[in-house]
Structure 1
């Protein structure tokens, strides 16, 4: 029989699964950026400036990190009204981030850098596009949490879903910061 202390020290299976998923996603992006470095060393590499809207999107995603942090605090304080508002704002900021990225792609295309023009531009499209998909996956989770907030009885709620979502959200935010710094330095 497990003691009470041993049960307290166990990580929730959903949290454990999230950490495994984040490790897998990290390995995928490390692979992407490693391939970028290898290809960049080739003679036909074309360097270009990142679209300015990518920097704007960074502010948007950092704001979303703040709003999900505040949402989690409100959930734990059982202030469901503020929680719902903050989860909604976080989801909207996630969508705004994705829109900014798509605008960045349009900017690249307008400057003669469509998806299949150069290897360097193709890498940006694939890596940033994959990141956008991960952010949009997080937006779907936030929408599910929002809907569940209407069905959650204050006495029976669990903080695990918002904790897992928050951890993932901060992860994709940090991942974008890594990618932006990487692309800025590795041109």
Structure 2
């Protein structure tokens, strides 16, 4: 009997993830694939010639700063939630929502600046790509702001705290991803416009 016990395999605990987090990560992979395909198409089309040369709107620098600051305020909220510091949690979430809205307003003004520079959605593919990049990112950002508002409301209902962080972690992951995606797009456009 003793010998038999020695040969029993120890079953390892499988890696587990909350189903909603898993779905979020699948969605993020999809978004990465979409933007990778778009940036690849941009490079291929640019190499074919007939490409409009233009300067990027200066407001892109401002919106990049806004998105970085919003990641800082959201991270502050997340740390506050882990410590059950509800005042800082709510304040950080509110600031993040406001910064997210400010980013979207900045994107709208960037389109106005592009029109002022005679860069349009229809016409040259260079302008079309720029509007698709920024518009698709703005669409994802709108969903991110809605998610942040849901989390903000949850903080006032005391549904976000040190023992209930799943929604907060998902919002933080998604928002940081969107910020990183914007910085990637901005750097890509700076180097390839």
TM-score greater than 0.5 by the shorter chain:
yes
Hey, which of these two has a bigger chunk of helix by percent?
Answer: 1
* 2:74 and 2:92 in contact (8 A); partners too: yes
Question: Which of the two has higher C-alpha Rg?
Answer: 2
In the TM superposition, 1:25-40 aligns within 5 A as 25-40=31-46
Matched, 1:171 2:177: yes
Displaced runs of 4+ in structure 1, greater than 6 A?
A: none
Determine helix, strand or coil for the equivalent of 1:6. Answer: coil
Q: Which residue of 1 aligns with 2:13?
A: 6
Quick one: which of 92, 98, 103 aligns to 2:104? 98
* TM-score, with structure 2 as normaliser: 0.89
Q: Deviations over 1:130-172 (max 9, x none)?
A: 0011111110001001111122257895101000110111101
The number of equivalent residue pairs is 183
CA distance in 2, matches of 1:128, 1:21: 19
CA distance in 2, matches of 1:27, 1:153: 33
* TM-score, with structure 1 as normaliser: 0.92
CA distance in 2, matches of 1:138, 1:80: 21
Matched, 1:78 2:84: yes
CA distance in 2, matches of 1:93, 1:137: 14
Q: CA 1:107 to 1:156, structure 2 compared with 1: closer, same or farther past 3 Å?
A: closer
CA distance in 1, matches of 2:187, 2:159: 43
Determine helix, strand or coil for the equivalent of 2:13. Answer: helix
Matched, 1:142 2:142: no
Q: Deviations over 1:46-89 (max 9, x none)?
A: 12111000111000000001011010001111111211111110
